[in-house]
Amino acid sequence: SASANKPVLTLFTKKPCPLCDEAKEALEPYKGRFILQEVDITLSENSVWCDKYKYDIPVFHLNGKFLMKHRVDIQKFEDQLMKMELQND
């Protein structure tokens, strides 16, 4: 299926996170091209991520690799997304 090949964008977040909301809005036009997975760093099972990112959210990983933090870098995101789409064809 097409969704099997879609890159997974992981958003490390917590509530409330206005910057995360802003980031999600910025990514809205692309949402058909990736799967968004949100990780709440305040949950006990995510304490490793909490220690790592508590002052940096939102943090984005694309297919498990660090991509960007604080703000969405649309250019970088688009470049990486396109690269992955080309690899999948």
Query: What residue numbers bound the domain in which 24 lies?
Result: 8-87
Q: For the chain, what is the domain count?
A: 1
pLDDT digits (tens, 9 = 90+) for 6-41: 999 999 999 999 999 999 999 999 999 999 999 999
Output the pTM of the full model: 0.91
Cα distance between residue 46 and residue 26, in whole Å: 25
User: Which H/E stretch holds residue 83?
Assistant: helix 74-88
The pLDDT of residue 33 = 96
> How many helices (H) and strands (E) are present in the chain, helices listed first?
3, 4
Is the model's pLDDT at 4 over the cut of 80?
no
User: In this structure, how many other beta carbons lie within 10 angstroms of the beta carbon of residue 24?
Assistant: 17
Using an 8 Å Cβ cutoff, are 63 and 84 in contact? yes
**CATH number, position 49:** 3.40.30.10
Q: What are phi and psi of 55, to 5 degrees?
A: -100, 5
- Residue 75 falls inside a structural domain: yes
